Amino acid sequence: MSDPSKLKIWLGKTLFGLFLLRRAWWIILVVLLIAGSVGLYRILQPLPADFQPEDSMILRVPTGATFKQVADSLHRYGALKSPQIFLLMGKITGKERLIRSGVFKVPLGLTEWQLLNYLQTVPPHQIKVTFPEGILSYRMAGIVQQHLGVDSSEFVSLVYDSAFAHTLAPEADNLEGFLLPETYFFEWKTPARQIIRRLVKNTLKIFEPDSVQARLQELGWTRQQLLTLASIIEGEVLVDSEAIYVSSLYHNRLRLGWPLQADPTIQFVVPGPPRRLLKKDLEIDSPYNTYKYRGLPPGPINNPGKNAILAALFPVKTKYLYMVAVGDGRHKFSRTLKEHNYWHKKFNQVRRKVRREKRLQQLNQK
Residue 216 · residue 191 · CB < 8 Å: no
> What's the rounded Cα separation, in Å, for the pair 333 and 292?
22
Given this model, what pLDDT does residue 176 score? 98
Percent of the chain past pLDDT 90, that is, above it, reads: 57
Closest CA relative to residue 299, chosen from 133, 137, 131: 137
Q: Does residue 23 or residue 86 have the better pLDDT? A: 86
Closest CA relative to residue 180, chosen from 144, 205, 150: 205
Percent of the chain past pLDDT 70, that is, above it, reads: 81
Q: Phi and psi at residue 56, in whole multiples of 5°?
A: -150, 170
Per-residue pLDDT at 183 exceeds 70: yes
Q: How many CB atoms lie under 10 A from the CB of residue 113?
A: 20
Given this model, what pLDDT does residue 43 score? 53
Closest CA relative to residue 235, chosen from 126, 132, 337, 327: 132
Given this model, what pLDDT does residue 266 score? 95
**Residue-wise pLDDT tens digits, 319-343:** 999 999 887 889 999 999 999 999 8
**Residue-wise pLDDT tens digits, 93-133:** 888 888 888 888 898 888 999 899 888 888 888 999 999 99
Closest CA relative to residue 247, chosen from 188, 323, 189: 323
**Residue-wise pLDDT tens digits, 23-61:** 554 444 444 444 444 444 455 555 555 555 567 888 888
As a residue count, the chain comes to: 366
Q: Phi and psi at residue 66, in whole multiples of 5°?
A: -80, 160
> What's the rounded Cα separation, in Å, for the pair 129 and 68?
31
Find the mean pLDDT for residues 272-299.
Answer: 91
> What's the rounded Cα separation, in Å, for the pair 134 and 298?
17
- The confidence band for 301, taking pLDDT boundaries of 50, 70 and 90, is very high
Per-residue pLDDT at 20 exceeds 70: no
Instruction: Read off the DSSP letter of residue 257.
Output: T
Per-residue pLDDT at 178 exceeds 50: yes
Given this model, what pLDDT does residue 36 score? 46
Show me where the domains of the chain are located.
Answer: 56-121, 126-206, 210-320, 321-356
Per-residue pLDDT at 231 exceeds 90: yes
The CA angle 65-70-74, to the nearest 5 degrees, is 155
Closest CA relative to residue 331, chosen from 235, 231, 230, 255: 235
Architecture of the domain delimited by 56-121:
2-Layer Sandwich (3.30)
The kind and range of the H/E element at 129 are: strand 126-130
Per-residue pLDDT at 350 exceeds 80: no
Given this model, what pLDDT does residue 359 score? 67
> Which of 12-26, 174-188, 268-282 has the lowest average pLDDT?
12-26
Given this model, what pLDDT does residue 79 score? 87
The maximal CA–CA distance of the chain, rounded, in angstroms, is 141
Q: Phi and psi at residue 83, in whole multiples of 5°?
A: -60, -30
Instruction: Read off the DSSP letter of residue 354.
Output: H
Given this model, what pLDDT does residue 277 score? 86
> What's the rounded Cα separation, in Å, for the pair 140 and 142?
5
Please tell me which of 69-83, 109-123, 208-222 the model is most confident about, judged by mean pLDDT.
208-222
> What's the rounded Cα separation, in Å, for the pair 297 and 314?
20
Considering the entire predicted model, what is its pTM?
0.78
Closest CA relative to residue 85, chosen from 120, 122, 115, 45: 115
**Residue-wise pLDDT tens digits, 131-162:** 999 999 999 999 999 999 999 999 999 999 99
Given this model, what pLDDT does residue 27 score? 46
Find the mean pLDDT for residues 203-228.
Answer: 97
